[in-house]
């Protein structure tokens, strides 16, 4: 089994059988390939007698979304596994447990979270998750703080950074988020109905200037070990539990990129309520839930992050009066900028979100797309001036109330 | 010879003899250990018959400056050798040629530059180097541009960054430049005469705030492969030639740190003219030469850097209107901040500069120290607001004319 090959379901069962202390010897195991993803095989292996199950996730050497023509390093399985283990050390209740990692097969064996749902689906169904903001705020505060120069030995941080050089997956982000949406790129996926709005983006040099600044931060600002792809499709959730999965894009980057990913996906769903809400009242109510969640995510993040800094800060110099406030203000600004960039790419870039794309009514889908673009571009434009998370919420609320410009 | 041990002069000769195509077989070679440094052995091996000579530089596993108690990685020899080779590929006339690198012995064999002098000494002697600004501006523009996301394939840049994780030597900088001078640290080296000025630094929380921002940039801003220690003691010079040596501190960091190192050491010599100039007229004249050089270094750097960007920029997004100006303005600001930090550490930190310390007259030495501190702290305070290199020059000139506040 030591040479890489994509596993069949039968092989996945055989593999799982040999992991120590997991299943009963000789027990009846079944496997199901449940991956909907573009990059991996995902097997759920279940033991009939006990009901016990695990997930076996194997990286594919190419991206399925564009066929086998886009080869991808299998090293991302190592990155995912190591990132999960680091995260588990910091916030054990908020990630799946890793049972084993096999470098040769690019394979991670981890806790099955089938009792959770993918959060994107939960939001599309109109569910509310009152613990989510606390959970994800704590997840981000702990993972970002304790892998940064604020909370980790600074020499060990550099060595860890060297283990999370992730050129290929970073390039996907660099292209699909920080380049293609702002030009007529072949990879773009643009509904004919909003072609005019996309063309406006391509000609907007003020926007391009802000995107260049954000792109540069993504390329050079090695603040902390990011999840790197923290959208609502990377979050398993149920009312009392939140689990962050899939950190294969992990690398040392700007903290605001992770926070912005969470907020962007909440606001994409906010825009998508053009299609999902039954009436104006329920739309207003669900949007109020989402904007309150945006605020709570930031607030929980900030409170946790400041508390960690005050209690576990490793750097004497960073205790200079005013520096923590300065740092958090800049982080908020980065967050708003990345929120905007993450929204725009989900409307005109290669990979969309189900929140919007699954809206059947074409007019409502178009409204949702234009609203998402309006919020996203306004966030990008505002990012270096904002002083409060309320300003991001105001951008969204105003755009929904007054109509959208794109 | 494959296990590490510090070479004797006789062993250095034997080693040099076996490098292919360098010396005549059986020829008469002599060796001299000429290192004045803290971290390395430096042998000059000469061939009597031909006059041909080379330098054999071997890293020591500790820093001599504080005895053997400060162990240092031998991997820095690899970093130095690889950085020199990268630099030679970009600006072949501005670095010594590398003949060989031996990983086991942590040893680099390179071109002998004995016909040059160390620039710090040249400045102390009152020499002028009219080609220096063009040379060093071109050196920095090329090495910084072509190793950055502006001028290098961005995935290859990340991989190269992984080869230049340099935790131990970065820590020296983090401690000695961005921490110790701003507190009563044991490592500090403070003349009793300026104790009051040092104590002012320790209590100045506005200054500490700015230093925290600069420290954070040094820790997280992976813009380009820096030389990392680009003071006038790392530059060999003669009227028609400039050679940059000793890049063992090389790592991916903020570009302004290298440029600031050059400007700081020019301005340290500017301050040191309190002791070296024979009279007011010669002092004014030499200071005018130094400030003109500060301006020319920046100007040559900027012109070269912009030209490279316009001709060889690899990133479409960074061509956004206004972004190049924005980038250069921020780089100027970083440069001014790092200039200040580099000046302060050379007065109150562990490692001083001969420009000031070799002044025999105690009163003149004290004036030079206070002037350097005045310029350095003013540059740190001004860094995030400056819009022109002239403002840095004005800080220095005003401080020299109106007396100093520290």
Long-range contacts of the stretch B323-332 (C-beta < 8 A, 24+): B323/A208, B323/A209, B323/A212, B323/A213, B326/A209, B326/A213, B327/A216, B328/B302, B329/B387, B331/B255, B331/B256, B331/B259, B332/B256, B332/B298, B332/B386, B332/B387, B332/B388, B332/B389
Percent of chain B at pLDDT > 90 equals 91
Q: Residue A20: pLDDT band by 50, 70, 90 thresholds? A: confident
pLDDT for A1? 47
pLDDT for A240? 96
Instruction: State whether A179 and B316 contact (CB < 8 Å).
Output: yes
Chain A CB contacts of B205 under 8 Å are: 320-322
Lowest mean pLDDT among A61-75, B54-68, B92-106, B161-175: A61-75
Span(s) in chain A for CATH 3.90.1200.10: 117-402
Instruction: State whether A171 and B154 contact (CB < 8 Å).
Output: yes
Specify the CATH number for A117-402; select among 3.90.1200.10, 3.40.50.300, 3.40.1280.10, 3.40.50.10490.
3.90.1200.10
Least Cα separation, residue A95 to chain B (angstroms): 27
CATH class of A9-111: alpha beta
Mean pLDDT, range B179-199, rounded to an integer: 97
pLDDT digits (tens, 9 = 90+) for A40-52: 899 999 999 999 9
ipTM value for the complex:
0.95
Query: How buried is A136 (Cβ within 10 angstroms: 0-12 exposed, 13-18 middle, 19+ buried)?
Result: buried
Mean pLDDT, range B189-208, rounded to an integer: 97
Task: Give every strand in the sheet of A40-47, ordered side by side.
Answer: A29-33, A40-47, A53-59, A107-111, A98-102
If DSSP codes are grouped into helix, strand and coil, which group holds residue B47?
Answer: strand
- State the best of A152, A163, A165 to mutate against chain B, taking most chain B CBs within 10 Å: A165
DSSP states of B178-242 as a string? TTGGGTT-TT----GGGHHHHHHHHT-HHHHHHHHHHHHHHHHB--EEE-S--SGGGEEEETTEE
Least Cα separation, residue A219 to chain B (angstroms): 7
Q: Is B229 annotated as a binding residue?
A: yes
pLDDT digits (tens, 9 = 90+) for B347-381: 999 999 999 999 999 999 999 999 999 999 999 99
Q: Residue B402: pLDDT band by 50, 70, 90 thresholds? A: confident
pLDDT for A404? 66
CB contact A329 to B (< 8 Å): no
Chain B CB contacts of A216 under 8 Å are: 149, 318, 327
Chain A CB contacts of B183 under 8 Å are: 316
For chain B, what is the radius of gyration of the CA atoms?
21
pLDDT digits (tens, 9 = 90+) for A90-146: 999 999 999 999 999 999 999 999 999 999 999 999 999 999 999 999 999 999 999
Q: Residue B65: pLDDT band by 50, 70, 90 thresholds? A: low
Give the other-Cβ count within 10 Å of B201's Cβ.
Answer: 22
pLDDT digits (tens, 9 = 90+) for B316-355: 999 999 999 999 999 999 999 999 999 999 999 999 999 9
- Look at residue B31 and tell me whether its pLDDT is greater than 60: yes
- Look at residue B283 and tell me whether its pLDDT is greater than 80: yes
Q: Residue A35: pLDDT band by 50, 70, 90 thresholds? A: confident
pLDDT for A21? 86
pLDDT for B69? 59
Q: Which of B149, B205, B221 sits opposite A320 (nearest CB)?
A: B205
Chain A CB contacts of B168 under 8 Å are: 155
Count of pairs with CB atoms under 8 A, one residue in A, one in B: 113
Q: Residue A36: pLDDT band by 50, 70, 90 thresholds? A: low
Chain B CB contacts of A318 under 8 Å are: 212, 215-216
Query: B190 to each of B65, B120, B357, how far by Cα in Å?
Result: 16, 21, 11
Instruction: State whether B222 and A220 contact (CB < 8 Å).
Output: yes
Mean pLDDT, range B239-255, rounded to an integer: 97
Average of per-residue pLDDT values in chain B: 95
Span(s) in chain B for CATH 3.30.200.20: 9-111
pLDDT digits (tens, 9 = 90+) for B135-171: 999 999 999 999 999 999 999 999 999 999 999 999 9
Q: Which of A179, A209, A317 sits opposite B323 (nearest CB)?
A: A209
pLDDT digits (tens, 9 = 90+) for A236-293: 999 999 999 999 999 999 999 999 999 999 999 999 999 999 999 999 999 999 999 9
Least Cα separation, residue A123 to chain B (angstroms): 34
pLDDT digits (tens, 9 = 90+) for A150-206: 999 999 999 999 999 999 999 999 999 999 999 999 999 999 999 999 999 999 999
């Amino acid at each position: 089994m030591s040479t890489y090959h994509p596993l069949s379901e039968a092989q996945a069962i055989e593999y799982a059988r040999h992991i120590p202390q997991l299943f009963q010897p000789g027990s009846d195991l079944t496997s199901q390939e449940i991956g909907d993803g573009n990059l991996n095989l995902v097997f759920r292996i279940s033991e009939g007698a006990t009901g016990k199950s695990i997930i076996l996730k194997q990286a594919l050497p190419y991206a399925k979304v564009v066929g086998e023509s886009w080869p991808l390093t299998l090293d991302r399985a190592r990155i995912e596994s190591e990132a999960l283990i680091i995260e588990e050390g910091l916030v054990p209740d908020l990630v799946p447990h890793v049972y084993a990692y096999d470098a040769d097969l690019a394979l991670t064996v981890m806790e099955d979270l089938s009792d959770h749902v993918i959060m994107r689906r939960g939001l599309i169904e109109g569910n509310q998750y009152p613990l989510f903001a606390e959970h994800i705020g704590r997840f981000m505060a702990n993972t970002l703080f304790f892998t940064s120069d604020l909370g980790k030995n600074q020499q060990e941080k550099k060595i860890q950074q060297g283990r999370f050089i992730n050129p290929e997956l970073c390039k996907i982000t660099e292209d699909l988020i920080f380049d293609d949406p702002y030009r007529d790129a072949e990879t773009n996926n643009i509904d004919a109905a909003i072609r005019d709005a996309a063309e406006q983006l391509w000609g907007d040099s003020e926007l391009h200037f802000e995107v260049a600044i954000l792109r540069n931060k993504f390329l050079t600002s090695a603040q902390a070990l990011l999840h790197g792809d923290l959208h609502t499709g990377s979050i398993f959730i149920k009312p009392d539990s939140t689990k962050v999965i899939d950190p294969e894009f992990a690398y040392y980057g700007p903290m605001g990129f992770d926070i912005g990913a969470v907020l962007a996906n909440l606001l994409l769903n906010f825009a998508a309520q053009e299609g999902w809400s039954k009436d104006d009242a329920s739309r207003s109510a669900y949007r109020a839930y989402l904007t309150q969640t945006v605020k709570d995510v930031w607030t929980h993040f900030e409170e946790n992050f400041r508390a960690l800094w005050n209690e576990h800060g490793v750097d004497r110099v960073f205790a200079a009066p005013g520096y923590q406030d300065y740092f958090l203000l800049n982080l908020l600004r980065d967050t708003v900028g990345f929120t905007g960039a993450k929204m725009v790419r989900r409307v005109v870039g290669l990979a969309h979100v189900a929140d919007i794309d699954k809206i059947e009514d074409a007019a409502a889908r178009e409204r949702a797309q234009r609203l998402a673009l309006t919020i996203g571009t306004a966030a990008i434009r505002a990012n270096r001036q904002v002083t409060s998370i309320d300003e991001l919420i105001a951008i969204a609320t105003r755009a929904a109330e007054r109509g959208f410009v794109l």
